[in-house]
Structure 1
Amino acid sequence: MPRATAYRPRPLRSAAVGALALALLAGATGAAASEPRPEPVRPAADDGWSAARAAAYWTPQRMAAAQPVDGPPAPRSQEAAAPAAGTAGAPGVGRDFGGLPQIGRMYLMRGTGAYFCTASVIASPRRSLVLTAGHCLDGGSRDQQLAFVPQYTQARPQPHGVFPVLRSGGANRIWIDPRYRSLGHDRAAGLDVAFVEVARNAAGRRVQDAVGADRLLLHPGYAHKSVRLIGHPGNKPVPRTCTNATSRFTSTDRGIPGSFLRIDCTGYPGGTSGGPFLAHYDPATRTGDVIGIIGGYKTGGTSPDTSFSPYFGQDIARLFALATAPVRS
């Protein structure tokens, strides 16, 4: 198994692509035609979708009324049995809390409906990258008015401002492996990842400078003793946190091939898709290493008490390399 590698930016510097990203770019040059390709042009600053417009559009009322992209949870399945009930704060027992600055909601309009998923800031050279689940943002041109709102709660809906998703040539700056769309959510469940580039907020700050960022950990392995799971449930005014061990889950369904991370944490229904699995969480910096996101197997699972993640192996490494590649001028 390849060694785990994390992207670690230089402190307080906006600068060049890190060594990991460079290595991944080199590995991506021989990728097959069906795999993701770099963006060919430099994006416009906002393509008319500015931070001021996004903040005015996503009012507290519209955000509170938004529905989870992934919908309410389905009935519990046998392969995802919930852990026994316990005391809040105990392993596997979720609790509501005030959130972390680098984790929030990704909002979008699809038709006349307002929707959201959970998303988090990932350390990157341009300090503007957000991670969520691919199934949250695979609507293509149907998805409009996209914006990231870190540490959203109903009581404080825009504590750090609103960061509109960048647009280039009329398209949102989103990286999803094209095989996820062509093969579908089940057959390509292991590719259920989206990287999103966001513009500065109305105060002119880049998202990583405003709220910090977690590190993306590639090839992390499956078994971790202590992982923190954070998500924004659609039925709650605040986010949810839980800590438990992760394990490897290998699907026996031929229609959903592959192995996935699994964690048992109570109370993660629709809305939590895209929520990060945080390993090596440091209470002093309030950051950690993202080893997964709620998604993948059955787009994250059929029980609100058991969540899955695609494995962050070479396919996700290649996608991250493309999302962090230098932009052509």
Structure 2
Amino acid sequence: MWLPFGFWDVGDELVARVWADDSDPDLDVGFATAHQAGASGPLETMTGANRLGANGPFARSVTATGYPDGSAVCSTTTSKQDTFQLRVDCSGFATGTSGGPFVADADPHTQLGTVVGVVGGFETGGDTDDVSYSSYFDGDVIALYRQATSRP
């Protein structure tokens, strides 16, 4: 199988301590880095990358994508869940879509935008296939991202 950017090793996984210790749904977020021996730069310099957004409005237009197969895609507007979480109402987001991004302000040509949430958080992402949640991305999420990306 031909891979245009070769094989990349995933490592340096990092989750918030309160998630690891207590499954705190407000910090149900994690980061991982990718490495390739001999690579001339980070993977995103070759492929492009979404930005990480934080402290944005609770109500905003996003495209939500459910992984692992990407077949669950929905354009919708997020709203605030009572538990300080983002909520999206999209059908077809079954078990296994955790970690799928909520992307705002995507460029129509590249489809790259700003990740403002990921399926997870309240009710482990949602207890029905039609409603999903995300931890609200705030300063704690940015701090975790900076910690993950500052590792050697």
Does TM, normalized by the shorter one, top 0.5?
A: yes
Instruction: List alignment gaps of at least 5 residues for structure 1.
Output: 1-155, 167-172, 252-258
Equivalent of 1:249, from 59, 63, 81? 81
Q: How does 1:128-143 map to 2 (within 5 A)?
A: none
The structure-2 alpha-carbon separation of the partners of 1:318 and 1:247, relative to structure 1 and needing over 3 Å to count, comes to same
1:40-71 Cα offsets, whole Å, 9 max, x none, are: xxxxxxxxxxxxxxxxxxxxxxxxxxxxxxxx
Letter in 2 for 1:269: A
Equivalent of 2:13, from 157, 174, 188? 174
8 A contact 2:33–2:149 mirrored in 1: no
Q: Give 1:175 shift.
A: 1.4
Give distance in 2, aligned partners of 1:158 and 1:238. 19
Report the 3-state secondary structure (helix = DSSP H, G, I; strand = E; otherwise coil) of the residue aligned with 2:105: strand
8 A contact 1:276–1:290 mirrored in 2: yes
Instruction: List alignment gaps of at least 5 residues for structure 2.
Output: none
| Equivalence for 2:34 | 198
1:65-123 Cα offsets, whole Å, 9 max, x none, are: xxxxxxxxxxxxxxxxxxxxxxxxxxxxxxxxxxxxxxxxxxxxxxxxxxxxxxxxxxx
Is 1:323–2:139 an aligned residue pair? no
Q: Give 1:182 shift.
A: 1.2
Q: Give 1:266 shift.
A: 1.0
Equivalent of 1:307, from 126, 132, 140? 132
Q: How many residues align?
A: 152
1:10-42 Cα offsets, whole Å, 9 max, x none, are: xxxxxxxxxxxxxxxxxxxxxxxxxxxxxxxxx
Equivalent of 2:46, from 210, 220, 242? 210
Q: TM-score, normalised by structure 1?
A: 0.43
8 A contact 1:162–1:201 mirrored in 2: no
Report the 3-state secondary structure (helix = DSSP H, G, I; strand = E; otherwise coil) of the residue aligned with 2:20: helix
Cα RMSD of the aligned pairs, angstroms, is 2.4
1:174-226 Cα offsets, whole Å, 9 max, x none, are: 1111111111x2xx1011111101112898763212321000011112111x2
Give distance in 2, aligned partners of 1:276 and 1:190. 16
Report the 3-state secondary structure (helix = DSSP H, G, I; strand = E; otherwise coil) of the residue aligned with 1:315: helix
Query: Once superposed, which parts of structure 1, at least 4 consecutive aligned residues long, lie more than 4 Å away?
Result: 156-161, 201-205
| Equivalence for 2:111 | 286
Q: Give 1:279 shift.
A: 0.5
Q: TM-score, normalised by structure 2?
A: 0.88
Which of 1 and 2 has greater Rg?
1
Give distance in 1, aligned partners of 2:98 and 2:59. 21
Report the 3-state secondary structure (helix = DSSP H, G, I; strand = E; otherwise coil) of the residue aligned with 1:263: strand
1:126-146 Cα offsets, whole Å, 9 max, x none, are: xxxxxxxxxxxxxxxxxxxxx
The structure-2 alpha-carbon separation of the partners of 1:165 and 1:326, relative to structure 1 and needing over 3 Å to count, comes to closer
Give distance in 2, aligned partners of 1:216 and 1:163. 21
Q: Give 1:158 shift.
A: 5.5
The structure-2 alpha-carbon separation of the partners of 1:245 and 1:175, relative to structure 1 and needing over 3 Å to count, comes to same
| Equivalence for 1:98 | none
